[in-house]
Amino acid sequence: MPADPQSGYVIRQMRDAVLDTDLKMLQLINQRLTQVRRLREYKEQQGIPFVDPEREHWMHQYLQGANRGPLSAAGLDRIYDELLALTKRETTDDA
C-alpha cells in the first residue's frame, strides 16, 4: 500500500512541533540553571551547604504527585536525577 501523499507534510509538521518543544525545554533548562546558580551563590555567602538531600527528596515526591503522564514515575525519576546532577555540575565555579 503506497504512503499517503500528505505523509511528508504531516511528518514535517510533527517534527516541527517536537523541535519547538525541544527549544522550549532548552530555554527552561537554561533559566533553571541561572536561578540555581544564584541560589548556590547566596547559600555559599551564608555558609549554607548547597546540596539539601531532604529538599531533593521532597522535590521528587512533589513532582511525582504533579505528573499526569504519559511520563512514567521511573522515567520522571531518571530525568530529575539527571537534571539535578547536571545542575550541580553546571553551577560550579569550574563550569
The whole model's pTM is what?
Answer: 0.85
CATH number of the domain that residue 53 is part of = 1.20.59.10
Question: What is the DSSP secondary-structure string of 10-73?
Answer: HHHHHHHHHHHHHHHHHHHHHHHHHHHHHHHHHHHHHT--S--HHHHHHHHHHHHHH--SSS-H
The whole-number pLDDT of residue 71 equals 98
The whole-number pLDDT of residue 5 equals 78
The whole-number pLDDT of residue 2 equals 62
Q: Write out the three cell numbers for 5.
A: 501523499
Q: Domain tally for the chain?
A: 1
* pLDDT per residue as tens, the chain (95 positions): 667 878 889 999 999 999 999 999 999 999 999 999 999 999 999 999 999 999 999 999 999 999 999 999 999 999 999 999 999 999 987 65
Sequence letter at residue 57: H
The whole-number pLDDT of residue 64 equals 98
Q: What angle do CA 85, 24, 90 make, to 5 degrees?
A: 25
For residue 95, being part of any structural domain is answered with no
Sequence letter at residue 14: M
Domain that holds residue 61: 7-90
Q: How many CB atoms lie within 10 A of CB 93?
A: 7
Q: Write out the three cell numbers for 93.
A: 565555579
The whole-number pLDDT of residue 82 equals 97
